[in-house]
Structure 1
Amino acid sequence: MELCACLASLKEQPAWILALSTVGFLSILKASVGTLLWLYVSFIRPGRNIAGYGSWAVVTGATDGIGRSIAFQLAGRGLGLVLVGRSPDKLRDVSAAIRDENPKARIETVLIDFAGDLVEGIARLKEAIKGMDVGILVNNAGMSYPYAKYFHEVDAELIKDLIKVNVEGMTKVTHVVLPGMVERKRGAILNIGSGAAVVIPSDPLYAVYAATKAYVDQFSKCLYVEYKGKGIDVQCQVPLYVATKMASIREVFFPHSIGRHICSCGPAVAGLREKVHTILASFPCLVHGLPFARDCC
């Protein structure tokens, strides 16, 4: 009886009230479903068997910070590593450290100075991965300002290096590695962006850095759409403050925990501090209804 009375009451309402109520209900339903999906992807969904992408992974910027941490995680999961960096000594050190933890680790190294001669470096990478089953590419190499500066105070050399390392280098490495993934119809590309370009509305005093990371984010979104039908997943991670040399901070979030979270994509391994990154980075996307998660891990 109560249901019938309720339906009768609804029929008596003006059409415009019914229309507004319907729109409101659908909006709330959409937001609720989106929130539940985000919670599942970020906190509940188990990680994938990343070895299924291929037997080798290319990691740029592998000698320090997040890149080094990811390299350790990938080696621990049985993948061969192609470590890319500009310092031969650091590449030897990180290779030795990985082998100490994983004596059977397969490791190749490639010298690329992303602020230097990219043509020669990219040619070395192309030769090194020829015939390899490269299933994962981690574009981690990057640089920032030495300290905060107004844009008119930033020298031309720093602007050139920021664009060359953060934009041109990542683009050209992807262009070399991607064809093999397309041929094998499987692969994953992980680009390390920044919360400076996605989470916060602007990053004053780091304008060029934030702009280059906005390129990384948009580049990742476009590749995700282009190649999702070809068996290739593309993901852009947008960490906030991490205690690395580039960030010039010593304590907030540590690269080993961020690397572990990136490679796990599930709650079994990642801890609370890593989840704060996910929550903060996802909040603006939830508010504006934008896609955030990339189905990579």
Structure 2
Amino acid sequence: METPVVLELLAKTIGFITFFKTLISIIRWVWVHFLRPAKNLKEYGSWALVTGSTDGIGKALAFELASKGLHLILVGRNPARLSVTTKELHQRYLGSGLQVRSIVIDFSTDPSEVICSRIQEGIDGLDVGILINNAGMTNTWPRFFHEADSIMDDIVRVNLEGMCRVTRVVLPVMLKKKRGAIINIGSGSADTLPSFPLYSVYSATKAYIHQFSRNLHVEYKQHGIDVQCLIPGFVKTKMLPIRFSSFFLPTPEVYSRACLRWIGYEPVCYPYWRHSLQRTLAQAMPKEFLDWAALQLVLLLRERESSKSQKKKPSREFQLSHLLMGLN
């Protein structure tokens, strides 16, 4: 066989394989995002524990879980807001027999022994089947690392230590019955983007959560426990300092409905299909360009927030990362 013919055959074979692999990837993407059936979450247990449950994604997830017939344990640092969320849940699901318990914890200040004891008391005697580690925080405005103050310690305590402490207490309950699901909320800042400048500690804690989830998935899958990291991109909450909508910006309710369809499947995933598409587009761009674009964006926001702070000091509740990544 002549060389040109061999090369032509080889090129066609490679082209066919590439086309086939792409087609399979597209079919699988459509299947998991739109056609794959959700699991029956009550099979994990009758109770679900949600941290950071009084606003944003955490609150929306609590309502979605309640709609599936699960009782709730809400964890938050503000007793008044926990009470309001509990009242709203009972009003929404009046007559359903929904039970709601609250646990007041401030992951940024409470000692680890207090966190563990309150969680232990709150779940004592309950069939906890789902744990959602949603509580998280970041710096209130873009800062270079050398400018970081006590907020850096708070970010590590809330995003890492709090998540690990709660997981450590709930896990034995699931091990005893050999079933359960642990859901950790990650961030596109630690996956979609190659870097997230001026939010270095925050994005690093989210990268920790991604790897932590992968490791626990391997450790406990054999014991009937599903561990996942759900990665959100933009999610529009009432705390967003913007008024416009966009293709990549779902409400917490829309995003949470997508999340529930993924529980029990892949260990790390983008449950909302538009965020998955956003990640694919980002991966097709040069990393150097994304680094440059991210830096220009946060510098612009830093300048804007600096000018605002001269008029009004930002409150602790304002999270600029809602604009960037839509996380709690």
Same fold (TM over 0.5): yes
Which residue matches 1:113?
106
Paired residue secondary structure (2:65): helix
Equivalent residue for 2:28, pick from 19, 30, 37: 37
Quote how far apart the aligned CAs of 1:283 are: 5.6
Quote how far apart the aligned CAs of 1:229 are: 2.2
Aligned residues of 1:63 and 1:94 also touching (Cα < 8 A): yes
Which residue matches 2:165?
172
Which residue matches 1:260?
257
- 1:96 paired to 2:87: yes
Which residue matches 1:219?
212
Which residue matches 1:137?
131
Equivalent residue for 2:278, pick from 274, 277, 280: 280
Q: What percent identity do the matched residue pairs reach? A: 44
Quote how far apart the aligned CAs of 1:15 are: 8.0
Equivalent residue for 2:70, pick from 76, 79, 82: 79
Aligned residues of 1:136 and 1:187 also touching (Cα < 8 A): yes
Q: Give structure 2 stretches of 5+ with no counterpart.
A: 264-270, 286-328
Residues 38-67 of structure 1: CA deviation (Å, up to 9, x unaligned)? 321122112111111110000000011100
Which residue matches 1:154?
148
Whole-Å separation in 2 of the counterparts to 1:133 and 1:286:
45
Q: Alpha carbons of 1:116 and 1:66: their partners in 2 closer, same or farther (altered >3 Å)?
A: same
Q: Give structure 1 stretches of 5+ with no counterpart.
A: 1-9, 267-272, 288-297
Equivalent residue for 1:183, pick from 164, 176, 180: 176
Q: Alpha carbons of 1:284 and 1:222: their partners in 2 closer, same or farther (altered >3 Å)?
A: farther
Whole-Å separation in 1 of the counterparts to 2:133 and 2:8:
52
Paired residue secondary structure (1:108): strand
Aligned residues of 2:115 and 2:166 also touching (Cα < 8 A): no
Paired residue secondary structure (2:102): strand
Which residue matches 1:5?
none
Q: Alpha carbons of 1:36 and 1:286: their partners in 2 closer, same or farther (altered >3 Å)?
A: farther
Whole-Å separation in 2 of the counterparts to 1:246 and 1:146:
12
Quote how far apart the aligned CAs of 1:22 are: 5.9
Whole-Å separation in 1 of the counterparts to 2:218 and 2:281:
22
Q: How does 1:45-84 map to 2 (within 5 A)?
A: 45-84=36-75
Paired residues, what number? 271
What is the TM-score with the length of structure 2 in the denominator? 0.74
Q: Alpha carbons of 1:263 and 1:200: their partners in 2 closer, same or farther (altered >3 Å)?
A: same
What RMSD in Å do the two structures reach over aligned CA positions?
Answer: 2.8
Paired residue secondary structure (1:188): strand
The code of the aligned residue for 1:194 comes to S
The code of the aligned residue for 1:277 comes to H
Q: Alpha carbons of 1:131 and 1:249: their partners in 2 closer, same or farther (altered >3 Å)?
A: farther
Which residue matches 2:292?
none
Paired residue secondary structure (1:90): helix
